[in-house]
Amino acid sequence: MKILDSSIAAEVADQLLEIEAIRLQPEKPFTWASGWKSPIYCDNRLSLSFPKVRNLIKENLVKSIQHFFPEAEAIAGVATAGIPQGALLANDLDLPFIYVRSKPKGHGMENMIEGKVVPGQKVVVVEDLVSTGGSSLKAVQDLRNAGFEVMGMVAIFSYGFGIADDNFKNADVDLIVLSHYEAMLPRAVARKYVKDEVLNSLADWRKDPAAWNPQ
């Protein structure tokens, strides 16, 4: 995992906290579908409702693609949250846009990939959030199976789990994120969303979320 710039990582985290796209509740943790207890809930879809934040994200994802993947020939969004972000980027970059379903459409052509499939085309995948990387990398594999050359992936935010780093490395996919959990914590303290004394517990969660105990 790489970031475009540390100051951008802080700014994006700050804005996501301000609009409550990122919510922190270390004393009353959220429960994920996996059963993990989590002090954080991240819903980057909210950024679409705030033009200032939406544009901040769009402009820096565009810069990320231009810097890390200048040979990109198409943009692919991951359903569902990666679709609007990817469409915005493709429009600014004047590139074709496609998106990848989580499962084939149950009628008609039963497509997994919506849009023009061009085998050999160099594509960058767009996600809103990366946790373990499972669903994101499934989309990458679906694109590869269809004949695309996946150059890498860009995302708004990552929890920074070690297992995600391993999964992306094993899949041979470069991941670029605008911000991540480690960059977010100092901004949360500065905004008084959390207290200094819970930082150790919050850091422990990222290291081993399955075993994390908020007490």
* Residue 71 counted as an annotated binding residue: no
* Residue 129 counted as an annotated binding residue: yes
* Residue 132 counted as an annotated binding residue: yes
pLDDT of residue 110: 64
Residues 70-104 pLDDT 10s? 999 999 999 999 999 999 999 999 999 999 998 87
Whether pTM > 0.85 for this model: the answer is yes
Residues of the chain where predicted confidence (pLDDT) is lower than 70: 105-110, 215
pLDDT of residue 107: 54
* Residue 64 counted as an annotated binding residue: no
Residue-by-residue DSSP string for the chain: -EES-HHHHHHHHHHHHHTTSEEE-SSS-EE-TTS-EESEEE-GGGGGG-HHHHHHHHHHHHHHHHHH-TT--EEEEETTTHHHHHHHHHHHHT--EEEE-SS--SSTT--SEES---TT-EEEEEEEEESSSHHHHHHHHHHHHTT-EEEEEEEEEE---HHHHHHHHHTT--EEEEEEHHHHHHHHHHTTSS-GGGHHHHHHHHH-TTT----
* Residue 185 counted as an annotated binding residue: no
* Residue 130 counted as an annotated binding residue: yes
pLDDT of residue 154: 98
* Residue 31 counted as an annotated binding residue: no
Residues 32-47 pLDDT 10s? 877 889 999 999 999 9
* Residue 131 counted as an annotated binding residue: yes
| 13 within 8 A of 183, measured Cβ to Cβ | yes
6-199: CATH number: 3.40.50.2020
pLDDT of residue 106: 56
pLDDT of residue 35: 84
Nearest C-alpha neighbor of 2 from the set 185, 130, 136: 130
